[in-house]
Amino acid sequence: MTGALDKRMTPDEIVGRLRSGMTLGIGGWGSRRKPMALVRALLRSDVTDLTLVSYGGPDVGLLAQAGRIRKLITAFTTLDSIPLEPHFRAARERGAFELVELDEAMFMQGLTAGAQRLPFLPIRAGLGSDVLRVNPQLRTVTSPYEDGEELVAVPALRMDAALVHMNRADRSGNGQYLGPDPYFDDLFCEAADTAYVSCERVVESAALTEHAAPQTMLISRHSVTGVAETPKGAHFTSCVPDYGRDEPFQKAYATAAADPDAWDAFRTRFLAGDERAYHLAVQTWHKEQR
């Protein structure tokens, strides 16, 4: 294809463009299609002091444990099949970072406002709840119409950079999801000044819709800065239909995360090397479990 922009980068090149102190969005949802290879690259870097925007899962847990988060904006942090993320829980209980705790729909409105370059979007959610008490920066807005309703004005969530993981992408950054749920990855990319897409496979543009409907094309290249091919790059979260969540490994992660000594051993075994070393270590671990 002549003239097609080639935005391919390695995970380390992507992380090399991130700076300490940035507001960083991470796509996916809980323990579902998280850009874990990029998170692991982030852990290998010295980027820190982050304001993290995420429907949180192990991405938040790992970065919290490593002390990289100054401020977290989230509606929850969960491993789905394991309701509580142990690192997140421990970090909260030791007061490790500032938290902006929003309702799930408030968070969606914030992303939408960010993508649309609006200062805020109104929502009913939040009224009467302690979300307003613990976030004294949140304001209400009064409808100028006859109803005169007073609603919460969710401020835009704008980010310096976003990281998302797709099933497929082309080299220009057109991203495709093939599972049942897009989550909010397109909004993350559009609400960020720069956005990086990791994917299971980089393919030719023509191959993307050879066997899939065009509405699977979630992310458009105009909102993407860089693309990385990271096979099993969402592991241990799910990346349906390429693979489901690695439940046994997630369980081992959660067990280790609940105990500092066990966590040191886990980190040494799985997170001390590069991405290739990670996957080899996971493979070996699985063989031992049989």
Q: Which among 171, 221, 162, 219 has a CA at the least distance from the CA of 196?
A: 162
Answer for which of 3, 136, 144, 180 binds other proteins (CB under 8 A) is 180
Identify which of residues 11 and 28 has a Cβ nearer to other proteins in the complex: 28
Answer for which of 6, 49, 181, 264 binds other proteins (CB under 8 A) is 181
How is residue 57 written in tokens? 């899962």
Q: Which stretch binds other proteins (CB under 8 A): 99-107, 204-212, 229-237, 276-284?
A: 99-107
- Can residue 125 be called a binding residue for other proteins (CB under 8 A)? yes
Answer for which of 36, 64, 123, 154 binds other proteins (CB under 8 A) is 123
DSSP string, 175-202: EE--SS--TTHHHHHHTEEEEEEEEEEE
Answer for which of 81, 116, 129, 283 binds other proteins (CB under 8 A) is 129
User: What gap in Å lies between CA 168 and CA 115, rounded to an integer?
Assistant: 23
User: What gap in Å lies between CA 164 and CA 162, rounded to an integer?
Assistant: 7
Identify which of residues 117 and 124 has a Cβ nearer to other proteins in the complex: 124
Identify which of residues 122 and 273 has a Cβ nearer to other proteins in the complex: 122
User: What gap in Å lies between CA 47 and CA 91, rounded to an integer?
Assistant: 18
Identify which of residues 141 and 203 has a Cβ nearer to other proteins in the complex: 141
Footprint of other proteins on 39-98 (CB under 8 A) = 74-78, 83-84, 88-89, 92-95
- Can residue 134 be called a binding residue for other proteins (CB under 8 A)? yes
Q: Which among 29, 21, 14, 17 has a CA at the least distance from the CA of 49?
A: 21
User: Using the 8-state DSSP alphabet, how is residue 270 labeled?
Assistant: I
Q: Count CB atoms within 10 A of the CB of residue 261.
A: 8
Identify which of residues 29 and 253 has a Cβ nearer to other proteins in the complex: 29
- Helix then strand count (H, E) for the chain reads 11, 12
Contact predicate 29/55, CB 8 Å: yes
Report in angstroms how near the CB of residue 76 gets to other proteins at its nearest. Answer: 4
Footprint of other proteins on 151-170 (CB under 8 A) = 151
List residues near other proteins by CB under 8 A.
29, 74-78, 83-84, 88-89, 92-95, 101-106, 108, 123-131, 133-134, 149-151, 180-184
